[in-house]
Amino acid sequence: MKTFAIVGATGAVGVEVIQLLEKRNFPLKSLRLFSSARSAGKVMKFKGQDIVVEELKEDSFNGVEMAIFSAGGTVSKQFAPFAAKAGCIVIDNSSAWRMDPEVPLVVPEINAEALKSHKNIIANPNCTTIISLMALYPLHKAFGVKRVFAASYQAVSGTGAQAVEELRHQVDQIVKGEPVTKEVYPKQIAFNVIPRVDIFLENGYTKEEMKMQYEGGKIMSHPTFKASVTCVRVPVYRAHAIAINAEFERHVTPQAAREVLATAPGIKVNDDPATDGYPTPLEISGQNDCQVGRIRQDVAFENGLSLWVVGDQLLKGAALNAVQIAERLVA
């Protein structure tokens, strides 16, 4: 690969992508970094070299073979078509293209074969969807998942750097006995949980909550898949957790589920309640693999399991999944 680009290079996911390309020794000769005019001119490091961040423009992709976009849906909708027309393969982290029937929505461990049909734009799924499916899809292959009820516990870094700073600042205000100020979230996030991630839709769910059903069905090629989800923002800096109750077509036991998950790529079983063996966001932060624990027979479903899945939403939930897609395309 001669020239690779990152759009949104100065953001949280962009920084992770740069680090992953270096750590994983991704085969590229030249790296170009793009951002808005506000961040253009900033100098970033890659393999010991200084790279100046450029302002993103319509003609930025001449000579660029592949790009990871992590700058939000508006930027992706505007600039991805220019990149694709210039012959650049776009791997987009936003929600802009995910449900487009012409655009593959890919988790490499699940549906890498979908990459064969790309037309220079490939979508990276929602972070909570990816983390959930890392455990659900192997179980679906073995037992046939029908529907899930889930609650997510989502870290503030999923909102961005300002949200992380808001949590830190509010904790500091509370410790000092000062009035708490709010800018990013509608309610105080420190020592609290907020049952709202993204905007509310007409059906009462949020946009984030419906992604599990829509995106999950597309990724698993499972058009009848149903998911009722409540997404909750919690005062955690990094890594999302999801509590899932899943109903299957075929009989399933916790032990059979553990055996299936033990051989599944990208997920580790951490399930020993006697020794407090279960994953938490603090332990999973910075790790590439997701972890699953609390695997037990669901007492409300006849063929059901309850489980707890945790993953770093900046890595497998975003940057790592995008880089893995790029690696598959190069391979």
**Between the CA of residue 70 and those of 53, 181, 200, 291, what are the distances in Å?**
14, 29, 23, 25
Same domain, residue pair 154 and 296: yes
Supply the mean pLDDT for the chain. Answer: 97
Same domain, residue pair 103 and 194: no
Active-site hit among 88, 118, 140, 240: 240
Same domain, residue pair 240 and 280: yes
Same domain, residue pair 279 and 144: yes
Active-site hit among 88, 127, 231, 290: 127
Global confidence as pTM = 0.96
Same domain, residue pair 280 and 134: yes
**Structural domain that includes position 258:** 129-313
Residue 1 has a pLDDT of: 74
* Residue 93 buriedness (CB in 10 A; 0-12 / 13-18 / 19+): buried
Q: What is the 3-state secondary structure (H, E, C) of the chain?
A: CCEEEEECCCCHHHHHHHHHHHHCCCCCCEEEEEECCCCCCCEEEECCEEEECEECCCCCCCCCCEEEECCCHHHHHHHHHHHHHCCCEEEECCCCCCCCCCCCECCHHHHHHHHHHCCCEEECCCHHHHHHHHHHHHHHHHHCEEEEEEEEEECHHHCCHHHHHHHHHHHHHHHCCCCCCCCCCCCCCCCCCECCCCCECCCCCEHHHHHHHHHHHHHCCCCCCEEEEEEEECCCCCCEEEEEEEEECCCCCHHHHHHHHHCCCCEEECCEHHHCECCCHHHHCCCCCEEEEEEEECCCCCCEEEEEEEECCCHHHHHHHHHHHHHHHHC
List the CATH number of the domain containing 65: 3.40.50.720
Q: Does residue 231 have an active-site annotation? A: no
Residues of the chain with pLDDT under 50: none
Same domain, residue pair 71 and 192: no
Same domain, residue pair 206 and 68: no
Q: Does residue 240 have an active-site annotation? A: yes
Same domain, residue pair 240 and 139: yes
Identify the CA nearest to 208 among candidates 237, 235, 230, 189.
230
Count of domains forming the chain: 2
Same domain, residue pair 221 and 270: yes
Same domain, residue pair 323 and 304: no
Same domain, residue pair 113 and 156: no
Residue 4 has a pLDDT of: 98
Same domain, residue pair 144 and 228: yes
Q: What digits encode the pLDDT tens for the residues 96-117? A: 999 999 999 999 999 999 999 9
List the CATH number of the domain containing 305: 3.30.360.10
